[in-house]
Amino acid sequence: MLGSNHIVDYSDEDFGVTAMGYVKNDMMNLQERGYDHSDKIVCAGCFGDPFLKNYIKKHGEYGSCSFCKDSNGKARYKKVMPLEKLMPVIMNVINRDYLDAHVALPWDSETKSLLGDTFDPWDFVTDELNQYLECENGKVLLALENILPFEDRCSRYEFSRRQEEIDLQEWNKFCYLVQTSKLSAEQIVTECYRKRASHNLKEIRTTMERIISYLEELNMTERIRPEDTIFRCGTHIGQDFDKKYDIPVIPATLMGTAPPLLTNHNRMSEKGDMMFYGAFKENVAVVEIGAEKDQILTTAKFHTNKIFKVLNLSTLNRCSLPSLFDVEQEEKRSAWFFLMEFMRNISMPVSDFDDKIKEYKPTQVFTKFIQRKTAMAGIVYPSSKFGVTNDQFGVNGERCVVLFVTNRDCIEEEDTSDLSRKQLIMEPNPVQRVVK
């Protein structure tokens, strides 16, 4: 019961009425705020959560922690904060995500128990809440349990879904809608913005715009500069290219973006859609094209003619999960969870050709949306073939890139660059070798 740890001396008969009034008001205040009094002092070392650590360091004062001591058993002098002062930050999470189980859950008269998963006071602190607190000191957890109401709790999401779960369900529906549509990716993006657009097309548009807002929220953009090297590999040229094509050297138009008649379905583009695929490392470019033994592999280096602003999906691996206790980052946290699952979906390898046509369409629509409705020049994404595991994607940071550059905009170094267009300049003399 709130206030049970707070003792007031009102033995003086003349002070009795005032003391009783004080106790009543104090109990009401404690009930309203949701936690009791405590004389315990905590420091940043009591918690592993980065936000709580920084909060104590920023708002605390120098003093001694009630729990952390040096090797001689003496309290360490550091930035500390009364546990009571930290509680509003913790209560934001408890009040937002958890409910009194006896109020929120129905009672089963047959089993004589609540219908749903519940946490008793100790399990709530040590198991449920501590997965976010990241506290390794049992005495700190005990102090926290003592300050909270003695009641069973349940998750607010026992019978509802978190925002990232809702978003993922909408993405799955989006995938179904585009995979069953007879329209091309280009047509879907065009038609979903018309006033007469069908309900399904409007849902596709809403999902795309939500994903874009999440990407902007996490600032997932990058600039590719003219000094950056992009590798592109191919096995279509062969060593007899001079006789086959009647040309003395390999031109940029042959090594760069394929013309419409020679393009096939790819992860980010449909058959006939001109886009440039490359990688920032030669070995990644080689692995991505799936070159077989004894094939003649041709590798070229390209540079952009100006700064290209691109969407960088690979940065999500390096983005830390926003703290549950940072209420200002709540939307970013939901976005992070959704985008992690989204990235796993679009980065998984697809082997069968018929499956590719179906499985690639959601990412093809997504890419076309980026191309037509944003100022981005392309997308950087984790390699689907280099270092992928069941639990992670692009674990070693290997990245690929798709750029919205046409065949005619792949040019030679001696050509005059048109800065009004997005162009790729190929270095002379692409290298050829036999795949071992």
pLDDT at 392: 41
Stated as kind and residue range, the H or E segment containing 431 is strand 431-434
Distances (CA, A) of 150 to 108, 144, 411: 22, 11, 72
- Based on the fold, state whether residues 131 and 234 are members of the same structural domain: no
Predicted structure pTM score: 0.76
> Which position has the higher pLDDT, 236 or 106?
106
> Which position has the higher pLDDT, 344 or 84?
84
The stretch 117-139 carries a mean pLDDT of 95
- Based on the fold, state whether residues 129 and 199 are members of the same structural domain: no
Structural domain that includes position 146: 12-99+122-152
Dist. CA 350–CA 357, nearest whole Å: 10
- Based on the fold, state whether residues 143 and 189 are members of the same structural domain: no
111 occurs within a structural domain: no
194 occurs within a structural domain: yes
419 occurs within a structural domain: yes
Collapsing DSSP to helix, strand or coil, 428 comes out as coil
Q: What percent of the chain clears pLDDT 70, i.e. is strictly above it?
A: 86
171 occurs within a structural domain: no
223 occurs within a structural domain: yes
Structure confidence by residue, pLDDT tens digits, 56-100: 999 999 999 999 876 666 666 789 999 999 999 999 999 999 999
Please report, for the chain, how many H helices and E strands are present, in that order.
16, 17
Mean pLDDT rounded to a whole number for the chain: 86
pLDDT at 266: 86
- Based on the fold, state whether residues 134 and 16 are members of the same structural domain: yes
212 occurs within a structural domain: yes
CB 378 within 8 A of CB 404: yes
- Based on the fold, state whether residues 281 and 211 are members of the same structural domain: yes
Structure confidence by residue, pLDDT tens digits, 227-243: 999 999 988 777 777 77
Burial of 84 (0-12, 13-18, 19+ CB in 10 A): middle
Hey, which of 124-128, 233-237, 388-392 has the most confident mean pLDDT?
A: 124-128
**Number of domains comprising the chain:** 2
> Sorting pLDDT into bands at 50, 70 and 90, what band is 10?
very low
Please check the confidence at residue 396 and state whether its pLDDT lies above 60: no
Burial of 405 (0-12, 13-18, 19+ CB in 10 A): buried
5 occurs within a structural domain: no
- Based on the fold, state whether residues 330 and 387 are members of the same structural domain: yes
- Based on the fold, state whether residues 203 and 142 are members of the same structural domain: no
- Based on the fold, state whether residues 256 and 400 are members of the same structural domain: yes
272 occurs within a structural domain: yes
- Based on the fold, state whether residues 341 and 426 are members of the same structural domain: yes
